[in-house]
């Protein structure tokens, strides 16, 4: 099966960041996790292209060692290019902390907003485009369960600490199928190479 998404970490990492990267790779359709090691951003893009992957998710460390942000490389460009969506996290709940062991979904996982309006719908649409996944508005996930056994649901919270919660769930009964991401805020801006170096890869050397 061709690889659609590669998941990895920033240079400076820890066990919790690595665990989230591992679970995201297991919960996303046609995704693989790779150890970052000393790979530069250019080398990550080259590796992704060799595998046919269109996106690279990079999980970075935040305060107190928790995962703090996710940035996304778009490998469809000739040079290192980041998708204009930065996911700032206020917290996570790993699948294992929910008593779940993620397994690869049999079909692409659509992004479904709940509710499908306002800021929540906007973020869900941008997340779908960033991950190159379908975007679907539906009130009852069971309506799409035959075609899509699982979905990524974006729920609106709207608090100062957490704007959205991203959940990997079964469409048949909404049971957990992966980690929960508590999104402090989405930032709709394309990072420059130098900004990523400073934010998530401080050991990289700017070009």
Q: Each residue of 28-39: pLDDT tens digit?
A: 999 999 999 889
Is the overall model pTM greater than 0.95, yes or no? no
| CATH number for the domain whose boundaries are 5-88+187-199 | 3.40.50.10480
Q: Where in the chain is the domain with CATH 3.40.50.10480?
A: 5-88+187-199
For 95-141, what is each residue's pLDDT tens digit?
999 999 999 999 999 999 999 999 999 999 999 999 999 999 999 99
Q: How many other C-beta atoms lie within 10 A of the C-beta of residue 132?
A: 16
Residue 32 forms beta bridges with which residues?
Answer: 6
């Amino acid at each position: 099966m061709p690889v659609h998404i590669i998941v990895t970490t920033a240079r400076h990492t820890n066990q919790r960041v690595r665990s989230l990267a591992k679970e995201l790779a297991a919960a996303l359709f046609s995704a693989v996790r790779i150890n970052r090691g000393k790979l530069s951003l250019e080398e990550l893009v080259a590796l992704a292209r060799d595998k046919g992957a269109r996106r690279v998710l990079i999980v970075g460390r935040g305060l107190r060692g928790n995962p703090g942000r996710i940035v996304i490389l778009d490998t469809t460009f000739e040079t290192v290019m980041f998708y204009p969506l930065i996911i700032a996290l206020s917290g996570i709940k790993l699948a294992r902390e929910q008593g779940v062991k993620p397994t690869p979904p049999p079909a692409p996982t659509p992004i479904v907003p709940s509710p499908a309006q306002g800021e929540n719908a906007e973020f869900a649409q941008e997340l779908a485009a960033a991950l190159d996944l379908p975007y679907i508005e539906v009130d009852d996930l069971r309506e799409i369960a035959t075609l899509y056994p699982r979905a990524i649901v974006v729920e609106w919270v709207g608090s100062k600490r957490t704007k959205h919660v991203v959940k990997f769930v079964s469409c048949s009964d909404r049971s957990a199928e992966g980690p929960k991401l508590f999104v402090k805020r989405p930032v709709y801006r394309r990072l420059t190479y130098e900004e990523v170096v400073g934010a998530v890869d401080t050991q990289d050397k700017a070009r």
